[in-house]
A and B are shown apart, each in its own frame.
Chain A
Amino acid sequence: MNGRWKTWLLVGLGSATVIAAIYFPYLRKRVKTTAKIEQPTEEQARRELTAPTAVNASDPVVKVRMFWASGEDETSLAPVTIDLALSPEPVLRAKQVLNTLLAGPVDSDLRTLPPDAALLAFYLLPDGTGVADFSEALATSTPSGIQSEQLAVDSIARTLEANLPQVRRLKILIHGQEMETLAGHLDLTQMFVVNTKVPQPGPLMMGAAAKPAASSAPATRPLNRGVGTSPKTPQR
């Protein structure tokens, strides 16, 4: 009995060794094949991340006001009304609107934002602060100058104001980081007032409730860095 048990054990071990020897080359081949599957490049990952927000078929088509450069005076903005399927959900809606703004008007000369810039993320804080995170191209490809940088920020702020009443002020990030300026001039450490009709909470009143400037151009006004913004959970 004892000898037979040993025999069976040896036979079992021998069989397992033979099976393993047969299976091992196959397993090795499979590992190699899996490794050959290409990892997505950084550019592919960026494209996937920045792909236009999918339009849901159930989203209602509404009139949207976009602010691009005026055909008559390229230093000012003009509203253009277009039909767009927009989500009722504010963050998705903001992404759809900003992606349309980035895509630009039919006349590319009237663009306010560089064609290679992309919206990476948009957050909406409970206090109405919209945080728009753009790719580096917004900083590197926007023409350097107070006028051109102001036009770019104004077009973003005014387009949000026209289509998203929930957004009261705007913070612009570049690739997730706070930048000192957009392209050497315009201050990005500040927040910009978007919706002047909605009362600003507490400390922001000092900046937001100030008298309108005597100057002719409507400009996006900054708010002081960090004032009145609480690090609450953002919607994304």
Chain B
Amino acid sequence: MTSAREQRQPLAKAALGKQGRTAAKRFAAFVAACIGICAGIGVVRAQTAGQSEAAAAATTAVPTAVALPTNVAPQAKTGLNIVVLDPAHGGTDSGARGAQGIRESDLVLDLTLQVRRALEAQGFQVIQTRSGNENPSFDDRSGMANAQYGAVFVTLHISSSGLPGTARVYVMPEMASRVNAGGVLSWDTAQAPYISLSRKFGDAVQGLLAQRFKGSPNNAQTASVRQLRTTAAPAIAVELASVSVEDRSQLDKMMPGVADAIARGVAAFRPSYVLPAGAGAQP
């Protein structure tokens, strides 16, 4: 006499065999999928290797040289296509602070959005160094511009003092260019070959700002702005005055005019944009 348990055994074995085959099939499918994904990643990585290397070089924690991108189509090298917008400060660094609780880091983010819209309407591609309340380092911000071809860099600020309702553009003063062994532009003086272009660009924007905001100078000013020094592109700093206003709306009212002036300034500068000889390791 067989027990009920013994009678159920063959059935259980059959069921187990069926389950095992199903599991094996699933495992094989999983392995095949993994191989497929890995192969896909390999292809994509191979295609974007140049870009990744350039970006990595540009955003290294302690960069020493500017390695310009090498995988750009020839037509892209000749013109200005990209504008890197840098809303200054962010994170724990609020920048200038007004008596009414106005924070530079918040205001410049709003200003950046308006400038971005104005530039995109002109057909430019826009890259922002920050989109939220983070605070990339000076070098990381510069690195975003240095990884591009055909780019200009605009860092946006609100001052603590100065005549309210005015706007000033700053460019780096003359500085000696240093080229490392191998012909690579030194990171510390990356702006040096671009200074004359930056001045042209700055004058174009400042002229338009002066038309809109009375009391603003007619030409760009020179100042040793840290953010500009390591940027290997025509680069300007735009500073609005100031957080000392009684009401934030005074600064909000300036923003559309500033955005329009920057966008028109970039468009006016576009024909002058020719990369200087010796600006880093040209491909």
Contacts and interface: CB of A to CB of B under 8 A. Distances in A.
Interface in B124-177: 138, 157-163, 168, 170-171, 173-177
Interface of B: 88-89, 93, 95-97, 104, 138, 157-163, 168, 170-171, 173-178, 188-189, 199, 202-203, 217-227, 229, 237, 239, 241-242
Nearest to B159: A145
A216 B226 contact: no
A187 interface: yes
B217 A190 contact: no
A67 interface: no
B91 to A, nearest CB: 12
A186 B159 CA distance: 12
B188 A187 contact: no
Contact of A186 (B158, B188, B225): B225
B4 to A, nearest CB: 83
A207 B161 contact: no
- Identify the 4 closest CB pairs spanning chains A and B, nearest first: A210-B174, A143-B160, A206-B176, A145-B159
A222 B229 CA distance: 10
Nearest to A219: B222
Q: Place the interface of chain A in its size category.
A: 35 or more
A215 B195 CA distance: 12
**Interface of chain A: mostly helix, strand, loop or mixed:** loop
A211 B188 contact: no
Interface of A: 74-75, 143-148, 150, 180-181, 184-187, 189-190, 192, 203-204, 206-207, 210-211, 213-217, 219-225, 227
A217 B189 CA distance: 23
Contacts of A146: 157, 159, 168, 170, 223, 225, 237, 239
A74 B177 CA distance: 34
Contacts of B241: 147
Nearest to A225: B188
